[in-house]
Structure 1
Amino acid sequence: MVNSIAPGDTTIPFWREKTLEEMDVSEWESLCDGCGRCCLNKLEDEDTGEIAWTDIACVLLDGDSCRCRDYPNRAATVPDCIPLDPETVRTLSWLPPTCGYRLVAEGRDLYWWHPLLSGDPESVHAAGISVRGRTVREQDYPDVETWEERLVDWPVEEPGE
Structure 2
Amino acid sequence: MAGWGGLRAHLTVAGDGTASGRLLEDDLSFMTARSHVPPPLPPLVRGVGDVRETRIDPSILDDQAALWAAQLAVPQAQCVWGEDGTTFLIEVGSGSSAVIQPQSTGGWTAHQHGPAKLWDAIEDAILRWQEAGRPHQSCFGLTVTPKRQWVWLGDPDGPSWNLPT
TM-score norm. by structure 2 comes to: 0.28
Question: Between Structure 1 and Structure 2, which shows a larger proportion of helix residues?
Answer: 1
Higher relative contact order (CA 8 A, sep 6+): 1
Question: Between Structure 1 and Structure 2, which shows a larger proportion of strand residues?
Answer: 2
